[in-house]
Amino acid sequence: MEAKTNMSNKNKIVSKAEYRESIKSNLRNAGRTVALCHGVFDLVHPGHIIHLEQAKAMADVLVVSITAAEYVRKGPGRPYFDDEMRMKTLAALECVDYVILSEGYTVDDIVECVEPDIYVKGEEYARPEDDITGKISEEKALVEKHGGCIRYTSGQTFSSTNLINTALSGLTDEVRCYMEDFITRYSMKEIRAFAEKAESFNVLVIGDIIIDKYTYCDVQGLMSKDMGYSARIQNSEEYLGGSVAIARHLSSFNNHVTLLSVMGDEQEFCARMSQELSGSMQLDLLHSSQFPTIVKHRYLTRNAKREEYRKVLAVNNIPERMEYEKDVRETFLEKLREKLEVCDVVFLCDFGHGLIDAQTIELVQDKAKYLVLNCQTNSSNHGLNIITKYTRADVFVVDQQELKLAFPVYASDEKAGLRRLAEHLHGNGWLTRGALGAYGIDGSDIKECPAFTLTVKDTVGAGDAFFSAAGLYAAAGAPIEAGTFAGNIAGALAANIVGNKESVEKVNVLKYANTLMNV
């Protein structure tokens, strides 16, 4: 079989089916060895060239696969270049014989398709413990299962992420300046170490279970005889929200998460909770026959040109007074006492819908070894669920509206209000400020962190993601500033997930952290 150096660049770009069904057998019949390289290859630089040339020298044929944009986990706005542009760039290199698009978070689909003789990685992957994804050992095993081996190149290392962040305005000036200062105090190794330390905690999550129902529709205009909207329904989806969403975020970082809550006795919801969550966390759920599981139903429209959503209407089934049955309440408190004895960290998610009463507050404040607190204000409890009803928290999270309700006298001075709240709760914490980022307070010292993305699909759940990551980092002994960093990353990732459709994964937080620290 003739060498492929004379192939046109267009012919080098092939699908997995094309490679599997014809190219692979032709290469085998000709006795040619195949090397495989895989990556994002967002901006091809000299380091990539050296890596690919060394890989080609190891075999007769070099196949390069790139991760499809949908599966790139470097944070919002990445990859900088789309799939077609990245494949064309690689195909233009003389040393590259074939380019394939990988449609998954891992390289497994490509390894099984190509079955390379040699899987080539950069020398930074030679130590499995340094791999953020933790997948290199699994990749090695899969390659060997298909008869190949793994080898490492040793060329000079460059960083596409660093070049994009600095030369191509991949980060805003504000974020880049912040990160240039941040990395003088923290390394990626330290950021990762805090996440790893949190793996050993016994974590208890307490809070209302909420079903977030999203109905997508096309708004046709105003009704002809009224002032309401007329819309055509497209489809509906339901996501597990409230304390469940927080427990799911935490369970990505920790395998010892327990969710304690009360819900209705609807068979559909009960079955879904068991099916979707029992493998990732311990569920200790009580059921009320008197009150239903809370459902918050939002009607949304989608921007026709980009994936952004606007809420048209929200309705819910929350009773005006939700007072659970006496036996349910007593059992809940009994279980809570037991779990507080053995849990290292408690995440108290007070959504103000009836589960967290005065007895619960007193018990948690008295017995929790480490308390992470969030007391939320929303349309159904506005002005009635104020965080100052608590007197203790090791760390807390509030948003701007919640802080103003707690200390209206400081409405025009958020830093003063945050200091006053920290004094009241005898702890440290964070003020989330949406597109303005967040403040973190440690004692009387307040540091500001900018928002890491202004690209947003849906802000529902972003605060819960911040609460989860920041609180877990603080519990692991991270300085408040490092917790702010982790929380802002989680919030940015969650803001690009519709509702609570997916949880924020630890690996994505760490990969985005690595992206930001490459300045």
Q: Is the pLDDT of residue 280 over 70?
A: yes
What is the per-residue pLDDT for 76?
Answer: 72
Question: Is the confidence at residue 224, as pLDDT, over 80?
Answer: no
pLDDT in tens, 25-72: 899 889 999 999 998 888 787 778 888 999 999 999 999 999 998 888
Most confident by average pLDDT, 270-279, 297-306, 313-322, 391-400: 391-400
| Domains located in the chain, CATH noted | 9-167 (3.40.50.620), 192-517 (3.40.1190.20)
- pLDDT > 50? residue 391: yes
pLDDT digits (tens, 9 = 90+) for 445-487: 999 999 998 778 888 889 999 999 999 999 999 999 999 999 9
What amino acid occupies position 286?
A: L
Please state, rounded to an integer, the average pLDDT across all residues of the chain: 88
Q: Write out pLDDT tens, residues 131-167.
A: 666 677 888 889 899 889 999 888 655 555 554 454 4
**pLDDT value at position 323?**
86
Region 388-412: mean pLDDT is 95
Average pLDDT over residues 329-339: 97
Place of tokens 């459902």: 295
Q: Where are the beta strands (DSSP E) in 317-416?
A: 345-350, 371-375, 395-399
- What is the reported pLDDT for 304? 61
Q: What pLDDT sits at residue 162?
A: 55
Calculate ∠ Cα 145-151-152, nearest 5°: 145
Which ranges of 243-325 would DSSP assign to H, the alpha helix? 243-253, 267-277
Mean pLDDT for the stretch of residues 176-193: 94
**Share above pLDDT 90 across residues of the chain, in percent, rounded to a whole number:** 60
- φ/ψ of 261, rounded to 5, equals -165, 180
Distances (CA, A) of 419 to 195, 423, 437: 27, 6, 17
Q: What is the pLDDT confidence band of residue 185, given thresholds at 50, 70 and 90?
A: very high
Q: Which residue has the higher pLDDT, 417 or 133?
A: 417
Say yes or no to pLDDT of 168 above 80: no
**Alpha helices, DSSP H only, in 171-293?**
173-182, 188-197, 243-253, 267-277
Q: pLDDT of 84-127, one tens digit each?
A: 989 999 999 999 999 999 888 888 989 999 999 999 988 777 67
Residue 195: pLDDT band (50, 70, 90) is very high
CA distance 317 to 294: 6
* Residue 79: cis peptide before it, omega within 30 degrees of 0: yes
